[in-house]
Amino acid sequence: MLGRTLREVSEALKQGLVTPTELCQRCLSLIKKTKILNAYITVSEEAALKQAEESEKRYKKGQSLGDLDGIPVAVKDNFSTAGIETTCASNMLKGYVPPYNATVVQKLLDQGALLMGKTNLDEFAMGSGSTDGIFGPVKNPWSYSKQYREKRKQKSHGENENSHWLITGGSSGGSAAAVSAFTCFAALGSDTGGSTRNPAAHCGVVGLKPSYGLVSRHGLIPLVNSMDVPGILTRCVDDAAIVLGILAGHDPKDSTTIQDPVKPFTLPSLTDMSKLCIGIPKEYLTPELSSEVQSLWSKAANLFESEGAKVIEVSLPHTSYSIVCYHVLCTSEVASNMARFDGLEYGHRCDTDVSTEAMYAATRREGFNDVVRGRILSGNFFLLKENYENYFVKAQKVRRLIARDFVNVFNSGVDVLLTPTTLSEAVPHTEFIREDNRTRSAQDDLFTQAVNMAGLPAVSVPMALSSQGLPIGLQFIGRAFCDQQLLTVAKWFEKQVQFPVIQLQELMDDCSSVFENEKLAFASLK
């Protein structure tokens, strides 16, 4: 049952094939069994079981709240959750229990979703590996998959299998791993430069970054306010659309959300491919791109073309400036956003009480890791009066050019852009940590951060396994606020490629719990 998609299990709940409590208990037990993944920082077992009980009552009365009622979900630990510790994987917020729910969390709970827990990330979402948080790195479930293990056995002999676990990508690695390992049916991530799409690609799940302004950021502990978007991680595109339909819309608490009413996101099946125009940005063909990803990218383009879509090469001429520009804007906003962590109102406070200034200094030194402190330092440098014009203002101008590149392409008739999500498949942790966080982020955000600067919707869809047996995802980028069109194309693609299900039997002693009744459930659906 746990291996099914959200839509399928929702149907099963409605038909009474499974109860919310059963579902909740199975997920909780799976969370325990997959503890090695370190996907969760906090497991809110008690609250989830209580929510399941409430949901069960509603189902018994025939008063289900909708598609999400009774569905186990997980939330990245940088979303404020009332009464549940919210740490951002930082010493600074260890022990911080927010008094309010983020709007997106509230919306999930209002729909009857069961909150299983808070997922792991890089400290304050600064990273692309989910390796740099105080609770340790997240391990990619595919490290323990039958698919990957078999390939490895062929290649290397005698090496310690367990030391070669892979990173999930990040910074929403915990959420991606949680969905990938079947411990929940959907998870919230956040996406500032690719933090949802990157781990989705590495973990073989769907990662959606909605249009900026479509989903409320209220309660999302910010990295870069002008780029942050709550992200959605699911096992299929339809599920992402269901969750987006619930989360999207104006929030009076977030002035940057759109005022226009949002319709539910139901995805039609693409029938007439001839009306579709797919753009392939030539600048995304970089030397660092692995040949395997490159060939899958070409294959995908060919697939669209062979099915009748128009596929054209397009140019986004300012792409090469994007990552530097992102770095300046990101660190500047980080420097500003992190200023509130002074140990006074909440969070960590040092023991020093010589002076207020000494207390600030020690609190922030103890509370933040090197990555966070480094970004604060560079951000403050860029914002200095003498540097502001040369760095911040210039970066803003470049940002506008980058956004205009996309507008030009879409104005020329392109419906959706097709690009890689990542340079390659997930790498082992040992290899990943050879480079520092900044270098890694610059490489890993290459294909993803420009979308954030332009505020566009984008989704990473898993396409196939690499020769190593690891997932590779491709990214679709849509017009601003054309999230539905984007997802419709993604759904068609998903159906064509038939990405294989992860086989986690080796990780879980009792694999039957995941796949039991599989056939039964299948038979009763669709």
Partner 1 sequence: MATPILRWCCPGRRWVFAGIGSVFRHGRGVPTGSTSSGKRGQSTVAQQPLITAQKPRKGEREWAAVVGLEIHAQIASNSKLFSGSQVDFAAPPNSLVSFFDASLPGTLPVLNRRCVEAAVMTGLALDCHINRRSLFDRKHYFYADLPAGYQITQQRLPIAVNGSLVYSVCVGKRQSQMVTKTAGVKQIQLEQDSGKSLHDSLRSQTLIDLNRAGVGLLEVVLEPDMSCGEEAAAAIRELQLILQALGTSQANMAEGQLRVDANISVHNPGEPLGVRTEVKNLNSARFLAKAIDYEIQRQINELENGGKILNETRSFDYKLGCTVPMRDKEGKQDYRFMPEPNLPPLLLYDSGSLPTGTDPQQVINIDQLREQLPELPRVTREKLVQQYGMLPEHSFALLNEVGLLEFFQNVIKETRAEPKKVTSWVLNTFLGFLKQQNLAVSESPVTPSALAELLDLLDRKAISSSAAKQVFQELWRSKGKTPAQIVAEKKLELMQDAEALEQLCRSTLEAHPQVVTDVKKGNPRAINKLIGLVRRATLGRADPTVIKEVLERQLSS
Q: Which residues are catalytic?
A: 76, 171, 195
| Cβ-based nearer residue to partner 1, 252 or 287 | 252
Around Cβ 200, how many Cβ atoms within 10 Å?
40
User: What is the C-alpha to C-alpha distance for residues 465 and 172, in angstroms, rounded to an integer?
Assistant: 21
Nearest alpha carbon to residue 36 among 116, 128, 141, 113 = 141
**Residue 323 touches partner 1, criterion: CB under 8 A:** no
Which residues make beta-bridge pairs with 460? 207, 475
Radius of gyration of the chain (CA): 22
**Residue 439 touches partner 1, criterion: CB under 8 A:** no
**Residue 332 touches partner 1, criterion: CB under 8 A:** yes
Minimum CB distance to partner 1, residue 100 (Å):
6
> 377-400: b or e for each residue (b if 16 or more CB lie within 10 Å)?
ebbbebbeeebeeebbebbeebbe
User: What is the C-alpha to C-alpha distance for residues 334 and 373, in angstroms, rounded to an integer?
Assistant: 10
Minimum CB distance to partner 1, residue 253 (Å):
6
Pick from 295, 388, 407, 436 the residue near partner 1 by CB under 8 A: 388
Looking at residue 431, the DSSP 8-state letter turns out to be: H
Around Cβ 280, how many Cβ atoms within 10 Å?
19
Pick from 62, 252, 261, 287 the residue near partner 1 by CB under 8 A: 252
**Residue 183 touches partner 1, criterion: CB under 8 A:** no
**Residue 447 touches partner 1, criterion: CB under 8 A:** no
**Residue 62 touches partner 1, criterion: CB under 8 A:** no
Window 492-521: residues binding partner 1 (CB under 8 A): none
Minimum CB distance to partner 1, residue 256 (Å):
6
Residues 197-226, mask of contacts with partner 1 (x by CB under 8 A): --------------------xxxxxx-xxx
Helix intervals (H) in 223-287: 237-247
In contact, 78 and 121? CB cutoff 8 Å? yes
Pick from 392, 447, 481, 493 the residue near partner 1 by CB under 8 A: 392
**Residue 261 touches partner 1, criterion: CB under 8 A:** no
**Residue 481 touches partner 1, criterion: CB under 8 A:** no
Pick from 36, 324, 339, 407 the residue near partner 1 by CB under 8 A: 339
**Residue 455 touches partner 1, criterion: CB under 8 A:** no
Span from 40-48, 141-149, 276-284, 340-348 in contact with partner 1 (CB under 8 A): 340-348
Residues 107-136, mask of contacts with partner 1 (x by CB under 8 A): ------------------------------
H helix or E strand, kind and range, residue 473: strand 471-478
Minimum CB distance to partner 1, residue 458 (Å):
20
* Residue 25 CB burial class (10 angstroms; 0-12, 13-18, ≥19): middle
Minimum CB distance to partner 1, residue 26 (Å):
31
**Residue 336 touches partner 1, criterion: CB under 8 A:** yes
Minimum CB distance to partner 1, residue 382 (Å):
9
User: What is the C-alpha to C-alpha distance for residues 357 and 373, in angstroms, rounded to an integer?
Assistant: 17
| Cβ-based nearer residue to partner 1, 228 or 238 | 228
**Residue 384 touches partner 1, criterion: CB under 8 A:** yes
Helix (H, G, I), strand (E, B) or coil at 477: strand
Question: What distances in angstroms separate CA 240 from CA 189, 209, 217, one per listed residue?
Answer: 12, 10, 18
Nearest alpha carbon to residue 112 among 29, 41, 48, 206 = 48
**Residue 318 touches partner 1, criterion: CB under 8 A:** no
Helix (H, G, I), strand (E, B) or coil at 330: helix
| Cβ-based nearer residue to partner 1, 43 or 334 | 334
Which residues make beta-bridge pairs with 206? 234
Window 80-109: residues binding partner 1 (CB under 8 A): 80, 86, 88, 93, 98-100, 102
β-strand pairing of 277-281 with 416-420? parallel
**Residue 400 touches partner 1, criterion: CB under 8 A:** no
| Cβ-based nearer residue to partner 1, 297 or 481 | 481
β-strand pairing of 114-119 with 72-76? parallel
Q: Which residues bind partner 1 (CB under 8 A)?
A: 79-80, 86, 88, 93, 98-100, 102, 217-222, 224-226, 252-256, 259, 332-333, 335-336, 338-342, 344-346, 356-357, 360, 380, 383-385, 388, 392
